[in-house]
Amino acid sequence: MDRKGEVTRRLACLRALMHQNNFAAVVITGNAEFQQKGYIRYYADWRLYGGAAHMVVFPAEDPILFLGLGAQAEWAKELSAIPDTRAVLDKTAAVIDAIEARTSPGDRIGVVGLNTILPHGEAVRLIDGLLPSVVKDATDMVEGVWGILSPTDLVDVEVAHNRVAKVFDAFRDAIRPQRSERAVVADAVQVAVRQGCLEGVIHLNNDLGSGTRPATDRVFGRDDIVKMFMEFLTPEGYLIELGGCFSFRPPEARWAKKFDLVGCAIENAMAATRPGRVADDVVQAIRRTYEAAGVDIVGRRLWDFHGQGMHSLLRPFGLPGATDPIHENTMINIHPGLLTADGLGISATSNYIVTPDGGVPLGRFRHRWHVVG
């Protein structure tokens, strides 16, 4: 399916949800921060280069994409999937005018990103400007379905993953003793840019724990244990996360043992990640792996996994007791979040597609300890 055909399919699904939820219009919001532009990319096939955008979808009439005055709006008129793309001075006022012209007083209006993306002042203007219509947050309505990937999406995320895997490989090839963190990250970022990944982060850690930080001028030492996490927004619109552990000598037994434990937990999580199950089923599979190994669990740093897509934090969230359903053809990112008494943090992060047989790694990516330099 071509890109415009894919957008047509997505809008048809959205309109079905609008009908079920009795919305006379839905406003889709986004801005150029790389974690907050996914809704516009998904429904308009437009990659925001700067500023913000609002898109209004109606049950029957054509949607309208509003961008600020400038070159980007002119590009979008030619290249986005929305024929009615408009450059306006005041996007919020334009949205209010478009909705008032096509709805009736008292209608329900949904806003995707109302409490997460739209600035407070703009949200107040929108709600007040649409009175007496009833404005409701429609974020959960959309996020309940947009993570389920179509056949076209599945191809795109595989391509996207392989782009970021090349950035991962570039970091692995660049890291060596006596090089600075910034120099190594710069080499990897150059590869990211050549792959069309213009936005993202690479964070590092060289202490015992699992927290990460931006690169500094620190020089890598021969005895370092380096944990790396990267996340990049790809040209396909998908955010891809990868992480790994690196050293310049074979790891000590305690590090190798902990890494193998995390890898085993990920494998068991993959096996448990099947349609019809809920998030806690996977969480418990990870916990049982740790308990079977006899390690002392002392807490939790973060969730064990989460949905991944055009935003990086989507349902299901892998937390104890979570009942988020797991759907086929969703992308998830697994990184066990349990803390253990040994205090050793491991970076082992990748992306998987949910299938009836369990999670399948994108790019057939497998975790291994990288001895480099």
Architecture category of domain 151-371 in CATH? Alpha-Beta Complex (3.90)
For the whole model, what pTM was predicted?
0.94
Distance in angstroms (rounded) separating the CA atoms of residues 30 and 218: 36
Q: Are the CB atoms for 142 and 17 separated by under 8 Å? A: yes
Please give the pLDDT value at position 131: 93
Res 337: pLDDT: 95
Torsion angle, alpha carbons of 329, 335, 338, 340, to 10: 150
Would you call 145 helix, strand, or coil by DSSP? coil
Q: Which two tokens stand for residue 87?
A: 């450059």
Q: What CA–CA distance (Å, rounded) separates 63 from 55?
A: 7
| DSSP states along 94-115 | HHHHHHHHHS-TT-EEEEETTT
Q: Output Rg (C-alpha) for the chain, integer angstroms.
A: 22
Burial of 298 (0-12, 13-18, 19+ CB in 10 A): exposed
Tokens of 274: 């099947």
CA-to-CA separations, 204 to 170, 210, 222, 350, in angstroms, rounded:
15, 9, 16, 16
Domain ranges of the chain: 3-143, 151-371
DSSP string, 282-347: HHHHHHHHHHHTT--EEEESS-SEEEESSSS-EEEE--TT--PBP-TTBEEEE---EEETT-----
* Residue in the structure block whose two tokens are 């007040």: 128
The list of the chain residues with pLDDT below 70 reads 1, 364
CATH number of 3-143: 3.40.350.10
pLDDT attached to residue 1: 60
Give the position of tokens 């943090």: 345
Query: Taking the CA of residue 255 as centre, how many other CA atoms within 13 Å lie in the half-sphere pointing to its CB?
Result: 25
Q: Across-strand partners of 373? A: none
What is d(CA 268, CA 350) in angstroms, rounded to the nearest whole number? 14
Take residue 317 and report the two structure tokens written for it: 């969230």
